[in-house]
Structure 1
Amino acid sequence: MGKIPNKTGQVAVISGSPRSLTFGIAKRLLQLDYTVIIGIKRVEECNKKIAKLKALGISTKNLKLIEVDYKSLKSVSKFAESVLERCIRIDLLICNGGVINAPYEVSDNGLECHFQINYLSQFLLTNLLLERMKYTSKAKDSPCQIIYVTSVAHFCSRLDFLELEKSKVYNAMKCFYDSKLCQVASMLTLDRVLKTEGANVQCFAIHPGMINVDLWESIGIGSILGSAICRPIETAADTILWPVFCPEFESKGGLYMENGKAVTPSWEATNSYTQQRLWGRSYELIRKYI
C-alpha cells in the first residue's frame, strides 16, 4: 500500500478475535493514526499482540479493547453502546468476527453459532453503529466504509432457511459457507438501501485470501502446511483495507472483492429472494436489540 495521509482523529471499529488478522488490520490503522476500537471476546489474551505492536515502534495509545461475546446479541448491543458513548464519530467499521468448523453449539439466543457469530452479530453491530456513521460522513463530507471480512467459500453455499438458524443435520463447513453467503447477500442489500437513502456510507465484502494458521489448524491442516499456503497477515490486512484508501473505490460500494479487484459474487448471494428473505428474518431476530 502506497503513501497514505494520516487519519488523525478518525475512528475505526473492528469486531474480531485475538487471532493475528484482527491485529494486522489494527496495526495498519494505528500506523495511520486512527483511533482503533476492537470488540474482542478474550481481552486478556491480547497482551502479547499489543506488546508486539509496541516492539515495532507503533503507538497503542489510540487502541482500545472492549470485551464482547458474539454468541450473545445482548453483549453485542452493550459493546455498541460503549462505542457510541466513547466516539462522536465512526469512520470505518470492519466486521471480522469469525469461527470456522466449530463443534455444534447453540448461542445464548438459541441460534447455530456460525450463523450468529459470523453473520447475525455483525448485522446487529452494523445496525447499531450505522446512524453514527451516516452522521460522520455528512460532517466530513466524504464516505465512511463498512467492510465485511468474508470468504470465497460463499460460492459453496446454497441457503436452506429451515436449517440456517438451527441445524438438524449438522455440517460445520456448510454452516461456515452459509454464514459467509449471508454476509455477502446482506452487504449487497445494505449498500442498495443506503444508496436509496442518499447516505454516503459504502459497503464491501472482502475475501482476504488464505490466511491465519489458527483457522487452518481448526479444519485439520497442520501449521507447517498452513504457513506454506497462507499469505502474510500484512498482505491480507492491506487487501481488506484496499477500498478504503484506493481512490478508484471512493465513490463505489456494494462490491464483493478479491485481491483488490471487484468480483461477481455467487448467484445465490445476488438472488433477490435470498436477499429479501434473509434481510427480513435478520431484522426479526435482532428487533429487541435495536
Structure 2
Amino acid sequence: MTSFMPDTLNPATLLSKRFRPDQIPDLSGRVALVTGGSAGIGYWDVAALAQHGAKVHFVSANPDHGRQAETDLNTALEQSGSKGSIVYHQLDMGNLKKVDSWVKKFAQQEKRLDILIANAGIGQAPWGLTDDGLERHFEVNNLAHYVIVLRLLDLMKETAATAKPATVRIVMQSSEMHRFAPSGISFASKEEINEKGDGVQLYGRTKLGLIVFARELACRKLAEGNPILAISVHPGTVDTDVQKAWGQSYGALGSVIDKLGRLVGKSAEEGAEASLWAAVSTDINQSNWKEYQGKYYTEPYGKADQETNQAKDQAVADNFWKLCSDLTEELLGERLN
C-alpha cells in the first residue's frame, strides 16, 4: 500500500524542493573530491557519491575525525555491496602552502576528477588570524578553495574531454547567510579582509565570496572548451556542528540561536541534497547546462539569481578575484589566475 505521508516532518525540509538519493545516477568510474567531508553536509555528500559508485576523496583537518569517517563509510559501502570507495586526506586549509603542496600532489596522482564540492568552512565563529596572517574565515572558506580549484582545473578539463558532456562540475557550498555580509564589503585589500568583525558577518562575507567565485570561475576559466559547470548553492538551515559557532561568538544568546536552529533545521543528510543536485543531477545536461553556469541556487530545481545585489556587483567580483590572486602571489610566490 502506498503511503501518502512525507518521509520527514522537518519543516525546513518540507518547505524545500528535494533531490533524493534515488535520483542520483550511476557514478561508476567517476572521481570526486569533497572538502570538509568528515562531518555534517560534506559527510553525506561523500557517502551518497560513493554509494552510487564513485571514488570519493575527502579532506578534513582533524585526523581522528577523518580516519573514523573513512572507516565508517567504507564499512557501510562494503556492507551495501557498493562499488564506490572513499579515501581520506588530512589537510589544514588554514595554511596555504600546505594546501598548495597537497593539491599539486593530488593532481599528479589522480588520472581524472569529475566532481569537486567546495564544502569545508569555518562557521559563525569569532574573528581570528591564521598562521599566514589572514582572517581565518576568509582563508579557509575562500582562499584555500581558490587554490584547490585552480590547481585542479587542468585535471578537470582533461576529464571533461572524455566524460559525458556537462557531467564535470564544481560546486560551491554557499548559503543564504551571504545576506549578512557587511554592507560595505569590497574585497579591495588584505587590510579590509583582516579587520576585526562579527562572526556572522565574517561567515556571511565568505559565503558571498563563494557565489562570486563560482560566477567568475565560469566567466574567466570555463567559457571555452568542453563544458565544466561551476555553480553555488544554499543547503538550507541545517543542524550541523557548524551551529556550535553561534555559542562561541555570542554566548548565551548564541546558544539559544543554536538550539532553535537544531530544532527546526534540516538534518545534515537532507542539507546535502542541494550540493548533490548541483553535482550530479541529470536534469542538468548537455542541452541546458549553460542556463545553470555560474548561477546561485537556494534549493534544488530552484530559481536562480536570487542573491543580493552586493553578490551581483561586478566590481566586488573583480576585487575578489584580484585579491585571491594577489594573496597567492604573496604566500606562494605565484599567481594562479
Q: Give the TM-score taking structure 1 as reference length.
A: 0.91
Tell me if structure 2 keeps the 8 A contact 1:217–1:226: no
Equivalent in the alignment of 1:277 = 319
Equivalent in the alignment of 1:148 = 172
Q: What is the CA–CA distance in structure 1 between the aligned matches of 2:200 and 2:245, rounded to whole Å?
A: 11
Assess, with a 3 A threshold, how the Cα gap between structure 1 residues 91 and 173 changes in structure 2: closer, same or farther. Answer: same
Question: Larger Cα Rg: Structure 1 or Structure 2?
Answer: 2
Out of 243, 259, 275, the position equivalent to 2:299 is 259
Q: Does the residue aligned with 1:174 lie in a helix, a strand or coil? A: helix
Q: Does the residue aligned with 2:172 lie in a helix, a strand or coil? A: strand
Tell me if structure 2 keeps the 8 A contact 1:13–1:90: yes
Equivalent in the alignment of 2:274 = 239
* Deviation of the 1:140 alpha carbon: 1.8
Out of 208, 216, 220, the position equivalent to 1:181 is 208
Summarize deviations over 1:3-57 as a string: whole Å, max 9, x none: 4432111100111153222211111001111010112111222344345432573
Q: Does the residue aligned with 2:25 lie in a helix, a strand or coil? A: coil
1:4-15 alignment, distance < 5 Å: 4-15=24-35
Equivalent in the alignment of 2:149 = 126
- Stretches of structure 2 lacking an aligned partner (at least 5 in a row): 1-19, 248-254
Q: What is the CA–CA distance in structure 2 between the aligned matches of 1:276 and 1:170, rounded to whole Å?
A: 23
Equivalent in the alignment of 2:14 = none
User: Would you say 1:73 and 2:73 are equivalent positions?
Assistant: no
Aligned partner of 1:235: which letter?
Answer: E
Aligned partner of 1:189: which letter?
Answer: E
User: Would you say 1:38 and 2:58 are equivalent positions?
Assistant: yes
1:199-214 alignment, distance < 5 Å: 199-214=226-241
Summarize deviations over 1:200-223 as a string: whole Å, max 9, x none: 111111110111331222203367
Assess, with a 3 A threshold, how the Cα gap between structure 1 residues 71 and 282 changes in structure 2: closer, same or farther. Answer: same
Q: Does the residue aligned with 1:249 lie in a helix, a strand or coil? A: coil
Assess, with a 3 A threshold, how the Cα gap between structure 1 residues 199 and 61 changes in structure 2: closer, same or farther. Answer: closer
Equivalent in the alignment of 1:165 = 193
Summarize deviations over 1:57-114 as a string: whole Å, max 9, x none: 3569721111111111111112212321321100000001100222332112211001
Equivalent in the alignment of 2:251 = none
Summarize deviations over 1:172-219 as a string: whole Å, max 9, x none: 221111111111111111112244323411111111011133122220
Aligned partner of 1:43: which letter?
Answer: P
Aligned partner of 1:111: which letter?
Answer: L
Q: What is the CA–CA distance in structure 2 between the aligned matches of 1:225 and 1:277, rounded to whole Å?
A: 36
Tell me if structure 2 keeps the 8 A contact 1:194–1:200: no
CA RMSD of aligned residues (A): 2.2
Equivalent in the alignment of 2:119 = 96
> Sequence identity, in percent?
22
User: Would you say 1:116 and 2:139 are equivalent positions?
Assistant: yes
Q: How many residues align?
A: 289
Aligned partner of 1:9: which letter?
Answer: G
Aligned partner of 2:173: which letter?
Answer: V
Q: Does the residue aligned with 1:108 lie in a helix, a strand or coil? A: coil
Q: What is the CA–CA distance in structure 1 between the aligned matches of 2:163 and 2:215, rounded to whole Å?
A: 25
- Stretches of structure 1 lacking an aligned partner (at least 5 in a row): none
Assess, with a 3 A threshold, how the Cα gap between structure 1 residues 4 and 97 changes in structure 2: closer, same or farther. Answer: closer
Q: Give the TM-score taking structure 2 as reference length.
A: 0.79
Range 169-178 or range 244-253, more displaced: 244-253
Assess, with a 3 A threshold, how the Cα gap between structure 1 residues 224 and 91 changes in structure 2: closer, same or farther. Answer: same
Equivalent in the alignment of 1:193 = 220
Tell me if structure 2 keeps the 8 A contact 1:73–1:109: yes
